[in-house]
Amino acid sequence: MSATQISLQNVGKRFNHEWIFRGIDHTFSQNEHTVILGSNGSGKSTLLQVILGSSVLSEGELNYTMNGRSYAVENSLGLFSLATPYLELIEEFTLTEMLEFHQKMKPFRDGLTIDSIIETLYLVEARNKNIRYFSSGMKQRVKLGLALLSDTPFVLLDEPTSNLDAQAIEWYKQLVDDNKQDRIIIVCSNDQKDEFSFCTSKLNVSDYK
């Protein structure tokens, strides 16, 4: 049994009187990466927010374990990194400033420097450019880099290939492959297989209505 896990026990979430999902029992374990599948509006992103602890459960229990130690939801944010369509970058910053600011809150993985990360993102020529002038694809690469290159045991990715062209999708797949060891990665997807080809487990939200 893995000493690093996220455990959902009979988890449910409702808005007003409507259940978005109910009765989810699932354990996310280290190195067993999982895709959460479902159509638009099915509750995938809501479930991701529940896993993150930013959306309160309507019923059930959520437990985090890291190296055999349990963490309360309110103490767990430092364990997570996140890339989602609704997560905004600070557009007044240059890329270098964005990375420096992020590093103060959440360190990058061992051996990584600001310069090496910019090279990994293939954004060397844009390092001093304000993020507001980045294309949607460039912004998505920054979001994915911040999530996967941060030193966190849990990585949450919501529709990670959004705004990526074919070349950038291959870059994303390589970035995941290089940074997936000894972590739990959870991907939300509309069944875009390039987003979750590395996943070994599936959870379909439509099974819990």
**Domains of the chain (ranges plus CATH)?**
5-208 (3.40.50.300)
Structure tokens at 124: 């060397």
Report d(CA 100, CA 168) in Å as an integer: 24
Mean pLDDT confidence for 26-50: 94
Bigger pLDDT: 74 or 167? 167
Contacts of 59 (CB under 8 A, 6+ apart): 10, 11, 12, 22
Predicted confidence at residue 92, as pLDDT, reads: 98
pLDDT in tens, 107-140: 999 999 999 999 999 999 999 999 999 999 999 9
Structure tokens at 94: 């240059």
Task: Mean pLDDT check: name the lowest of 48-57, 114-123, 136-145.
Answer: 48-57
Q: Mapping DSSP to helix (H, G, I), strand (E, B) and coil, where does residue 6 land?
A: strand
Distances (CA, A) of 37 to 63, 87, 165, 188, 208: 22, 20, 22, 6, 12
- Quick check: 5 pLDDT over 70? yes
Bigger pLDDT: 42 or 1? 42
Q: Which residue has the tokens 């159509």?
A: 39
Q: Which residue has the tokens 């970058």?
A: 89
Instruction: Supply the DSSP symbol for 108.
Output: B
Predicted confidence at residue 94, as pLDDT, reads: 98
- Number of Cβ within a 10 Å radius of residue 103: 17
Q: Mapping DSSP to helix (H, G, I), strand (E, B) and coil, where does residue 66 land?
A: strand
Report d(CA 44, CA 49) in Å as an integer: 9
Query: Which stretches of 77-184 are DSSP H helices?
Result: 95-105, 114-120, 136-148, 166-179
Predicted confidence at residue 2, as pLDDT, reads: 63
Quote the mean pLDDT of the chain.
95
